[in-house]
Structure 1
């Protein structure tokens, strides 16, 4: 008997251990990512910005995924998944430390540089852990495993706005635009500097935690896995990874998806602030709770009751309906929130805000459904394909910024029409786009 072979029980244990380690990393990614939803309105006050300028926060953060994805793939090819995760944590820690001089100077450009550095480390992490979680077990249940990781990621998104609000947004009314406008320029700058100083301690703590986890992962027993070889017959041409339509179209769908996900999570606070909603800094938690519920559905239903394709179609259709609700609904009535949340004692919000939060439910299963569909059949191109999909996260840079411009030009509510074509693209990819195997349109799965 070959004692080096894993028994089914050992293999199952290895998958569980790997998922626990990666789950911790997904929680960290979620914590840093969804902090932006509260950071956007906070920096809008600190730096005296309009909506378009404030949403450069999301641009600086998510554009790093486009700029750094291919270098990250090259680094991973050289050092492997595990060391790549360790390096990513170290870069994230450096980005967190940059927030200290940014807060003490209140220079918006330094905040953006710190966010770009944080996201650079996260790009390396994302490029490693997403294919890792796909390949660590059976591919048919990959969306279920990614959904479990989503629980960690979006669970952090529920917690972060609540923590940020309690630490950063206490007595925020005294820093409102109206209150600041009554002050002399020197006094106004002093008030903003006082508010910005609140960022120093939390980000110093974040840096320390990231460095500790970096050391923990480095010395852990997390196993590396070989490159995906499930499809050795994949056709290899000089066009490289771009020869796969299911990947390229999947990246376009992900571009739109990440854009609407970030709009739903990171602009809801801005929109609530425009509507004078109390505790606008915690509204991202509403969206994240809906996403967590969506991931619970994914864990329970995929693949037993719902295929990855079916989950993607349902998500896109729900996104279309809710987008119309956001763009055309009432910003005065809170009837939807009364029906859904009235029993819970949670503060009620206007219908349009509630529809925006419910987009979290529509968005939850899109990411875990697209990844395995887009990577199917790539064989030795899987790592490069993962980098292409990670580059699509730049949708979170471009689309919220475009929303900010539309919001300033035509009103915050009308700007949400931008999401409609994004969900239409996701629906088409779910229905037929993922089946295309040739750019000539002849080959289908």
Structure 2
């Protein structure tokens, strides 16, 4: 009888998993495009490292600014219609890249990124609770890990595609070369380079419009959340749940170091002379996919969600130490790990940055079910709070850029150490707290 119920649950969750899987691929495609955009905009908008990292700030700060308004929209529209609204907002953001590319104004690029982030905010706020509640809570991390693989596969594809379609011939657009040109020639070169963005973002807007129809007219079920026994009379709302508040802070730390590992690896590689620097984000994403696969195999059969979080945080700490102290000349580690495969090797310090993807792959899928457990009617509010934690992707890379400008890019990876330490605290104690 139990087996029959489990089979029925799997069948009922298959369609939502497929549709949300498509959405997670789009999340990844849009999100991990930033890693390739940063060195691109650094050239066409003539930016230093700190200024270039406002790409991540504009994109991720939308999660903080818009999370609570978007949760209000979800309460009025329901989760399914809310996803369609989010896709429509993203389509507007994609279209805004056309005037941004035409004018070359950095502010318009940042505005377009903020609008894209706003659309993703409502999609993330709606889709993650779906994954937690459409099946047994013990395997929620596995479902989120599957979506993580889809998301990060997009992250692997995007830098390669961006490099092939937009960055081909970028070697001739070095900072030294651009500085040697007269003003008119330089302006013409930048305009030609900027215009390469227009067609891809037109296609993105078209795909997003098609996905609106897919979500709107699909048989994706609406989910209802039961009220918990202790939250009906309490007026303090989500603030009464330490596991959610601390979970949001843990996600702040995680997303910050995740974005740093994925979006600065290209800058790091460029600064030390790695030829294929524009595609280095793919290395971090491949490591994250491997981490998700290991999580799917291990959870809950060999390790609980809590233990996975402990292992992830400790591994992340070791990677930070490696990234900040390893050689930028030797590629001994990469030679051993994949040098035999024909994939281009990278210096040891850069390899440790990529391996952060493997280390922290299970942090996001482990935190969500732990933080949402027992929230009852506050699930949407708790989900919005966790989404606000994504602001770590806006603020911590700016801190990284500030430290890098004052010292070196390699030294700036020490910013990740307190991030992993807080995640370790949440894994050991924070998620267990049920009162302040």
Q: Same fold (TM over 0.5)?
A: yes
Residue number in structure 1 paired with 2:155: 157
1:41 to 1:217, Cα distance in 2 relative to 1, 3 A? same
Cα separation, 1, equivalents of 2:115 and 2:107: 12
Match of 1:3 in 2: none
The corresponding residue for 1:139 is 137
1:329 maps to which of 307, 326, 331 = 326
Q: 2:32 maps to what in 1? A: 34
Deviation at 1:235, TM superposition (A): 7.1
CA distance in 2, matches of 1:209, 1:14: 27
Distance 1:269 1:259 in 2: 16
- Structure 2 SS opposite 1:80: helix
Say whether residues 1:196 and 2:167 are aligned partners.
no
Counterpart of 1:283 in structure 2 is 280
Could you tell me which residue of structure 1 aligns to residue 364 of structure 2?
367
Quick one: structure 1 residues 145 and 236, their matched pair in 2 at CA, closer, same or farther if it must change by over 3 Å? farther
Cα distance in 1 between the residues matched to 2:280 and 2:286: 10
2:179 maps to 181
Query: Distance in 1 between the 2:200 and 2:257 partners?
Result: 28
Distance 1:322 1:140 in 2: 29
Match of 1:127 among 100, 125, 133: 125
Please report how far the alpha carbon of residue 239 of structure 1 lies from its aligned counterpart in structure 2 after TM superposition: 1.8
Task: Answer with 11-20 or 21-30: which moved more.
Answer: 11-20
| Alignment TM-score, normalising by the size of structure 2 | 0.98
Task: Check conservation: 2:88, 2:212, Cα contact below 8 A.
Answer: yes
Query: After the TM superposition, which parts of structure 1 deviate over 6 Å for at least 4 consecutive aligned residues?
Result: none
Instruction: Give the conservation status (yes or no) of the 8 Å contact 1:270–1:280.
Output: yes
Deviations 1:128-161 (A, max 9, x none): 0001110111111100110011011011001000
1:270 aligns with 2:298: no
**Helix, strand or coil: the match of 1:413?**
helix
Whether the 8 Å CA contact 1:228–1:382 is kept in 2: the answer is no
Quote the Cα distance in structure 2 between the aligned partners of 1:228 and 1:323. Answer: 42
Consecutive unaligned residues of structure 2, counting only runs of 5 or more, are none
Is this contact kept in 1: 2:71–2:384, CA < 8 A? yes
How does 1:406-421 map onto structure 2 within 5 Å? 406-421=403-418
Which of 382, 385, 390 is equivalent to 1:388?
385
3-state DSSP of counterpart to 1:333? coil
Shift, 1:304, TM fit: 1.0
Residue 8 of structure 1 deviates from its aligned partner by 5.5
What is the distance in 2 between the residues matched to 1:417 and 1:425? 14
Could you tell me whether the CA contact under 8 Å between 1:308 and 1:369 is conserved in 2? yes
Separation of aligned partners in 2, 1:51 and 1:404: 6
Q: TM-score under structure 1 normalisation? A: 0.96
Any idea what the Cα deviations from partners look like across 1:269-326, whole Å, max 9, x if unmatched? 1111111111111100000000000100111111111100000000000000000000
Equivalent residue, structure 2, for 1:345: 342
SS in 2 for 1:222: coil
Pair 1:428 & 2:420 matched: no
Aligned-partner Cα distance in 1 for 2:79–2:375: 18
Q: CA RMSD in A?
A: 1.2
* CA deviation vs aligned residue, 1:164-188 (integer Å, no higher than 9, x gap): 0001111111111010011112211
Q: Aligned equivalents of 1:236 and 1:54: distance in 2?
A: 48
Separation (CA, whole Å) in 2 of partners of 1:285 and 1:318: 20
Instruction: Give the match for residue 243 of structure 1.
Output: 240
Give the match for residue 442 of structure 1. none
- Partner-residue secondary structure (3-state), 1:199: helix
Tell me if structure 2 keeps the 8 A contact 1:84–1:125: yes
Instruction: Tell me the CA shift for residue 189 of structure 1.
Output: 1.5
For 2:53 and 2:101, the matched residues in 1 are separated by 18
User: Aligned residue for 1:210?
Assistant: 208
Instruction: Name the CA distance, whole Å, in 2 between partners of 1:147 and 1:173.
Output: 37
**Residues of 1 paired with 2:419 and 2:247: CA distance?**
12
Q: Is the 8 A contact 1:41 1:54 kept in 2?
A: yes
Q: C-alpha offsets along residues 369-409 of structure 1, whole Å, 9 cap, x if unaligned?
A: 01111111111111100000000000000000110111111
Q: Does 1:97 align with 2:90?
A: no
Secondary structure of the residue aligned to 1:392 is: helix
Mean CA deviation greater in 267-276 or 317-326: 267-276
- Deviation of 1:12 (Å): 2.3
Change (3 A) 1:8 1:250: closer
Corresponding pairs, count: 433
CA distance in 1, matches of 2:136, 2:338: 38
CA-CA distance at 1:193 after TM superposition: 1.0
